[in-house]
Chain A
């Protein structure tokens, strides 16, 4: 979202955070539900602030806290720079009022976490592939597409997500005996997961993902472009119509999209070292948490690429992985 880009590009905020804080980011959907040491710690701390999660409701926001769970400051999710700065300055002031002996390095001991709640923790699949997924509102030009000049505070920046493929799944993309020109349907779990969970308008907030029945038309093929001793290169091509009604003219929300991609497999290293996909087409309608869509049908673009191997932030689970079984089943 645009606010996070502005807040964390502000030099004053970046300096304070890098030198005086430890920074953490979590999905409240998991944190407020998990029944383990981390969940209990978070709820105990958050309940000292204004959001007490009555009835299981959200506790989202920006918190300043101590390692031993004292609440220092809070701001509900608005991360515009001036509000973020105010919050961290308030948190720092509250921290500095604590006794010196409580603030020194090593004063607080935090042991190992112990057993995590498997229902509400997610890890990337062992040996699997993690792709970054970016979604952006576009406009058409005479030469193709451009970044949309839509309101930058609501939908004008690139949104992020991740796609997880299990080891057996990404390996199933590569023909056992590849021959240039071969054309195979992309295995169903991969194709359906892309269509249902990763072609959604997330530019203004958490998107509604597509139910199985809302995938009205879909095809995705992998064509062997090139085979050498070193590599196999596949071209992905496909399209889909995703809509909330079988009659797309009546559908309140939909996406009519074409896909194209390049997958490169290194035969020596036995791994995929390139996985670039573009999806673009007309999207319309709003979801529950994504009001303010541009009127009519407007272009929306989605781009996929390989996440850097050692990136912490790219361990964030896919939005659709809240129901992890359904995400992997992707029927």
Chain B
């Protein structure tokens, strides 16, 4: 292996070892608002939240009975309106 290649390998190894124990980079305050907005869902991802969801099946029964309508129940392990 040439000296140049050996040196490149060694440099990469040192970088890898050096970065292994470092904490995550602090968040740049100038980037804070941008990051916050980036992580949150835009309207196109969150349109489903605008449907009139009830989170109580019993309340859904009462409303459906009063209005003469069937119920659509979305039931998941992990709340479908939350972490699922």
* Residues of chain A whose beta carbon lies under 8 Å from any beta carbon of chain B: 1, 4-5, 7-9, 14, 17-18, 20-29, 31, 37-38, 41-42, 58-68, 72, 77, 79, 88, 91-92, 95, 103-110, 113, 134-136, 138, 144-147, 157-162, 202, 205-207, 217, 237, 239, 241, 248-249, 256-260, 262, 276, 278, 280-282, 289, 301-303, 305, 312-313, 315-319
Contacts and interface: CB of A to CB of B under 8 A. Distances in A.
A105 B47 contact: no
A319 B82 CA distance: 8
Contacts of B60: 22-24
A63 B76 CA distance: 11
A29 B47 contact: no
Contacts of B76: 27-28, 60-61, 77
Contacts of A146: 38
A66 B47 contact: no
Contacts of B64: 22, 66-67, 108
Contacts, number: 259
Nearest to B47: A9
Contacts of B29: 260
A159 B65 CA distance: 33
Contacts of A160: 41, 81-83
Contact of A260 (B32, B40, B52): B32
Contacts of B81: 25, 160, 313, 316
Given A1-B84, A8-B47, A65-B70, A18 B52 contact: yes
